[in-house]
């Protein structure tokens, strides 16, 4: 996630979520704060571009069925109609907010209260909203806090709900914040394109070189790792193997285990041998023509991980726990492996890399001119339709090398998609132009092409198409927006060979302009640029410094609501005060967790430290959970509401409750005695 601010709106009091969201912003090293829309103002806040949500870099909306319509109970048809209307209205408001802000939105359908909510209405609302946004990349729908969901009895807080409309416990708010932060991370952070796995101690227990292919063990926990790799392949990630072994032994393990969900046919490439793993990974990057910063490497060996981090710092290198169950749990909580949407291009990526390998073999067997003469390249450039929306957005987000302007947003008037085939197979949709007309000029705000189609002349046909389009519309010029980035060298090489004039547009952006007729006449001439395009891709710029440390910490230590709460509390320690009673020390700890400033003395006051009515409700709920007593309002809303004063009230309440319980027990005991037994007890008491 880049620099971002979170805007939150809810149909209930959700401010306790803010502390946990701020914890995750700090954990992920993201600048920005969390701001809340006014209470129960979801629809106005979504529809107002000037609201907290309209100004946020990411938006979180939390709803309950019982808050949206009080009649949504049971299976009555009128309740169903009301619910359908709510789904339509809420979906429309969310889409309006996305259009106005361009920010990713996460919609959470929260569980109903045990006292007033309807599980049926909740289920129908969750299902309706999930369907409404199943093909929408801008709005993610969560219907639970999985995988952080605590046990059912730890979800609701009836006292806080009754006192301040705060329906959930601290544990559930912590779980919600983790689930929301994880989803935002998935939709705003680039996903790895290549997953590389070690073999011994990672994919199986044992060492195949010593134990033999029949001696290694793939138990139920190791099988979970294989299933996760299968999910990654299904999502379009390229799976590679990198292991210090004999290749025939590794292949034999696959042959002896046909039940594995991943077969050798799913492995895009492998480096099994005795070379250093950093060298092996660089070799894989060259073969796949991908930057090392798109690689994720899994290994159980701390030594091998340290070597890769030193030799290939661009790679996200993660050390799996040595035990199989720990490794499987690690992958379940490995955020970079999360998948939110899968396009057709993703599903076919592995096949296309295999086709590319056959192209490379053919290129090595003949001259460059002969290769292009026999390639039978077919390029189709057509207006983008609704079916191309996901792929167009994906191209803008992921294309780096041949992205003339470096843009990630598409805001032109027309889009054209580029589909390519040759004698080896179908590349799919690999290119995109995003254009608008200004005066006598057709301006291409976005002109981009996937790296797998570079060096084939597709970019020349894209420009020729724009030139022909401009002439057809009576326009004199074609202008290409260009901004140099660290990684779009191929785009700069392409521009350098064109008869263009450069018109600055302020800042780093410039327009490269050429006559429409010249653009229409551009043709591909194989040469040095194509040789460069076929060579290995090197990643420019600084390496990712320590992303692996945060990923490993989250995947091993922050895997449940209790662990997250413990980490939040550890981040806000309270100083020990000499002479403070155990109750006073506990009150100080609770205030340190809730308030902007931690108390330093038992005489510090709640409101003086930044407390307000909502924090007061949270504190009362925590006192009830910690000590089993309810604090009276007349004690709390006073200027003498200090640590010492509230600790004294808690102790008095505990004593009173204990006395009441003792009296009730004595009465129960007396009720079971006869008159003679009571007289005997009195005589004994009087001596």
Is the per-residue pLDDT at 361 higher than 60?
A: yes
What are the C-alpha distances in Å from 179 to residues 111, 126, 245?
Answer: 14, 16, 39
- Characterize 194-228 residue by residue with b for buried, 16 or more Cβ atoms within 10 angstroms of its Cβ, and e for exposed: bbbbbbbbbbbbbbbbeeebeebebeeebbbbbeb
Structure tokens that stand for 302 in this block: 């701390």
Bridge-based pairing of strands 267-272 and 378-383 is unpaired
**Mean predicted confidence (pLDDT) in 347-373:** 65
Q: Please write the tens of the pLDDT for every residue from 75-131.
A: 445 556 777 888 999 999 999 999 988 899 999 999 999 988 888 999 999 999 999
- Selection from 418, 416, 284 nearest residue 345 by Cα: 418
- Selection from 455, 467, 493, 469 nearest residue 377 by Cα: 455
Can you tell me which residue has the tokens 């981009």? Answer: 448
pLDDT confidence of residue 71: 38
Average pLDDT, the chain: 84
Split at pLDDT 50, 70, 90, the class of 344 is: low
pLDDT confidence of residue 347: 66
Is the per-residue pLDDT at 302 higher than 50?
A: yes
Is the per-residue pLDDT at 141 higher than 80?
A: yes
Q: Which of 205-209, 338-342, 596-600, 617-621 has the highest mean pLDDT?
A: 205-209
**Mean predicted confidence (pLDDT) in 371-375:** 68
- Characterize 60-86 residue by residue with b for buried, 16 or more Cβ atoms within 10 angstroms of its Cβ, and e for exposed: bbbbbbbbbeeebbeeeeebbebbeeb
The string of DSSP codes covering 335-349 is GGG--S---HHHHTH
pLDDT confidence of residue 76: 45
Can you tell me which residue has the tokens 């209470």? Answer: 39
Is the per-residue pLDDT at 1 higher than 70?
A: no
- Selection from 30, 108, 24, 120 nearest residue 75 by Cα: 120
**Mean predicted confidence (pLDDT) in 461-465:** 94
Domain ranges of the chain: 6-188, 194-340, 345-353+373-534, 573-687
Q: Please write the tens of the pLDDT for every residue from 558-613.
A: 999 999 988 988 877 777 777 788 888 888 888 788 787 888 888 888 888 777 77
pLDDT confidence of residue 72: 40
* Start-to-end C-alpha separation, the chain: 79
Cα distance between residue 388 and residue 393, in whole Å: 9
Neighbours of 682 (CB within 10 A): 9
Cα distance between residue 180 and residue 170, in whole Å: 15
Neighbours of 496 (CB within 10 A): 10
Q: Classify residue 387 by its DSSP letter.
A: G
pLDDT confidence of residue 666: 56
The string of DSSP codes covering 554-611 is HHHH--SHHHHHHHHHHTS-----TT--HHHHHHHHHHHHHSSS---STT-BTGGGT-
pLDDT confidence of residue 74: 43
Structure tokens that stand for 286 in this block: 């060259």
Kindly state which CATH superfamily the domain 345-353+373-534 is placed in. Gcn5-related N-acetyltransferase (GNAT) (3.40.630.30)
Q: Class of the 6-188 domain?
A: alpha beta
Structure tokens that stand for 74 in this block: 């049971």
Kindly state which CATH superfamily the domain 194-340 is placed in. HAD superfamily/HAD-like (3.40.50.1000)
pLDDT confidence of residue 668: 62
The string of DSSP codes covering 182-233 is HHHHHHHSPPPSEEEE--BTTTBBS-HHHH-TTT-B--HHHHHHHHHHHHHH
Q: Please write the tens of the pLDDT for every residue from 544-554.
A: 334 888 999 99
Structure tokens that stand for 105 in this block: 């939105």
pLDDT confidence of residue 125: 93
Task: Between 101 and 361, name the one with better pLDDT.
Answer: 101
Give the three-class secondary structure for 6.
strand
Cβ pair 277, 308 in contact under 8 A: yes
Can you tell me which residue has the tokens 């629809």? Answer: 43
- Selection from 348, 340, 329 nearest residue 233 by Cα: 348
Cβ pair 71, 82 in contact under 8 A: yes
- Selection from 371, 511, 535, 525 nearest residue 460 by Cα: 525
pLDDT confidence of residue 531: 43
Cα distance between residue 350 and residue 584, in whole Å: 62
Q: Please write the tens of the pLDDT for every residue from 638-664.
A: 656 888 888 888 887 777 766 555 555
Q: Please write the tens of the pLDDT for every residue from 227-264.
A: 999 999 988 899 999 999 889 999 999 999 999 999 99
Query: Of all residues in the chain, what percent carry a pLDDT higher than 90?
Result: 44
pLDDT confidence of residue 34: 93
Is the per-residue pLDDT at 365 higher than 80?
A: no
Q: Please write the tens of the pLDDT for every residue from 303-331.
A: 899 899 989 999 999 999 989 999 999 99
Backbone angles phi, psi at 661, to 5 degrees: -65, -40
- DSSP helix, strand, coil percent of the chain (3-state; round to 5): 50, 15, 35
> Helices in 324-482 by DSSP H: which ranges?
324-332, 344-347, 349-364, 368-374, 389-398, 458-472
Cα distance between residue 418 and residue 548, in whole Å: 36
Query: Of all residues in the chain, what percent carry a pLDDT higher than 70?
Result: 84
pLDDT confidence of residue 560: 92
pLDDT confidence of residue 562: 92
Task: Between 109 and 628, name the one with better pLDDT.
Answer: 109
Which CATH architecture fits 573-687?
Answer: Orthogonal Bundle (1.10)
pLDDT confidence of residue 109: 96
pLDDT confidence of residue 606: 81
Q: Please write the tens of the pLDDT for every residue from 30-70.
A: 888 899 999 889 999 999 999 999 989 999 999 999 898 64
Is the per-residue pLDDT at 533 higher than 50?
A: no
Split at pLDDT 50, 70, 90, the class of 175 is: very high
Cβ pair 602, 642 in contact under 8 A: yes
Bridge-based pairing of strands 194-197 and 238-243 is parallel
Same fold, 6-188 and 194-340: yes
Cα distance between residue 11 and residue 42, in whole Å: 7
What are the C-alpha distances in Å from 245 to residues 183, 212, 273, 406?
Answer: 38, 11, 5, 41
Cβ pair 62, 129 in contact under 8 A: no
Radius of gyration of the chain measured on its C-alpha atoms: 32
Is the per-residue pLDDT at 371 higher than 90?
A: no
Q: Please write the tens of the pLDDT for every residue from 397-449.
A: 888 878 898 877 788 899 999 998 887 778 888 899 999 999 999 999 999 99
């Amino acid at each position: 996630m880049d620099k971002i601010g979170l805007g939150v709106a809810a149909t209930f009091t959700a401010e306790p979520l803010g502390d946990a969201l701020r914890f995750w912003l700090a954990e992920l090293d993201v600048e920005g704060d969390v701001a809340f829309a006014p209470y129960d103002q979801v629809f106005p806040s979504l529809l107002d571009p000037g609201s907290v949500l309209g100004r946020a870099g990411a938006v979180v909306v939390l709803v309950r069925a019982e808050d949206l319509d009080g009649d949504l109970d049971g299976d009555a048809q009128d309740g169903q109609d009301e619910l359908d209307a709510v789904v339509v209205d809420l979906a429309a408001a969310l889409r309006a907010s996305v259009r106005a802000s361009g920010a990713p939105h996460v919609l959470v359908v929260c569980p109903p209260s045990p006292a007033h909510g309807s599980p049926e209405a909740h289920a129908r609302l969750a299902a309706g909203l999930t369907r409404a946004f199943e093909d929408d990349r801008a709005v993610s729908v969560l219907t639970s806090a999985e995988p952080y969901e605590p046990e059912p009895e730890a979800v609701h807080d009836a006292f806080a709900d009754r006192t301040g409309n705060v329906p959930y416990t601290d544990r559930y708010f912590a779980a919600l914040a983790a689930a929301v932060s994880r989803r935002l991370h998935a939709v705003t952070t680039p996903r790895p394109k290549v997953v590389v796995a070690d073999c011994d101690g990672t994919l199986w227990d044992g060492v195949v070189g010593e134990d033999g292919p029949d001696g290694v063990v793939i138990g139920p926990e190791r099988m979970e790792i294989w299933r996760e790799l299968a999910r990654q392949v299904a999502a379009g990630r390229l799976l590679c193997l990198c292991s210090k072994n004999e290749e025939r032994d590794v292949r034999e393990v696959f042959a002896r285990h046909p039940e594995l969900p991943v077969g050798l046919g799913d492995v895009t490439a492998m480096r099994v041998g005795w070379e250093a793993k950093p060298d092996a990974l660089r070799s894989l990057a060259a073969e796949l023509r991908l930057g090392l910063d798109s690689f994720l490497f899994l290994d159980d060996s701390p030594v091998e991980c340290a070597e890769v981090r030193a030799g290939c710092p661009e790679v996200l290198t993660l050390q799996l726990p040595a035990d199989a169950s720990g490794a499987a749990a690690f992958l379940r909580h490995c955020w970079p492996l999360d998948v939110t949407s899968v396009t057709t291009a993703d599903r076919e990526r592995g096949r296309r890399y295999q086709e590319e390998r056959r192209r490379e073999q053919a290129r090595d067997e003949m001259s460059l001119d002969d290769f292009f003469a026999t390639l039978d390249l077919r390029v189709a450039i057509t207006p983008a339709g609704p079916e191309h929306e996901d792929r167009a957005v994906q191209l803008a987000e992921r294309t780096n090398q041949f992205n003339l302007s470096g843009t990630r947003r598409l805001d032109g008037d027309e889009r054209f998609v580029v589909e390519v085939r040759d004698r080896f197979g179908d590349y799919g949709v690999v290119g995109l132009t995003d254009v608008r007309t200004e005066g006598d000029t057709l301006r291409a705000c976005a002109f981009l092409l996937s790296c797998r189609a570079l060096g084939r002349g597709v970019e020349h046909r894209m420009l020729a198409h724009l030139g022909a389009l401009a002439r057809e519309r009576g326009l004199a010029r074609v202008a290409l927006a260009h901004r140099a980035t660290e990684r779009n060298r191929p785009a700069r090489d392409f521009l350098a060979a064109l008869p263009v004039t450069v018109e600055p547009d302020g800042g780093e952006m410039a327009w490269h302009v050429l006559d429409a007729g010249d653009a229409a006449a551009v043709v591909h001439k194989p040469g040095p640029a194509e040789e460069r395009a076929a060579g290995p891709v090197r990643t420019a710029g600084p390496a990712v410094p320590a992303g692996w440390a945060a990923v490993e910490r989250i995947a091993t230590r922050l895997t449940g609501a209790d662990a997250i709460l413990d980490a939040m509390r550890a981040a806000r320690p309270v100083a020990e005060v000499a002479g403070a009673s155990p109750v006073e020390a506990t009150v100080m700890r609770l205030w340190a967790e809730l308030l902007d400033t931690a108390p330093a003395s038992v005489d510090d006051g709640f409101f003086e430290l930044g407390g307000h009515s909502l924090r007061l409700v949270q504190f009362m709920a925590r006192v009830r959970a910690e000590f089993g007593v309810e604090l009276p309002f007349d004690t709390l809303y006073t200027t003498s509401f200090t640590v010492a004063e509230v600790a004294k009230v808690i102790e008095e309440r505990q004593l009173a409750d204990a006395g009441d319980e003792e009296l009730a027990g004595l009465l129960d005991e007396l009720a079971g005695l006869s008159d003679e037994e009571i007289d005997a007890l009195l005589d004994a008491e009087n001596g």
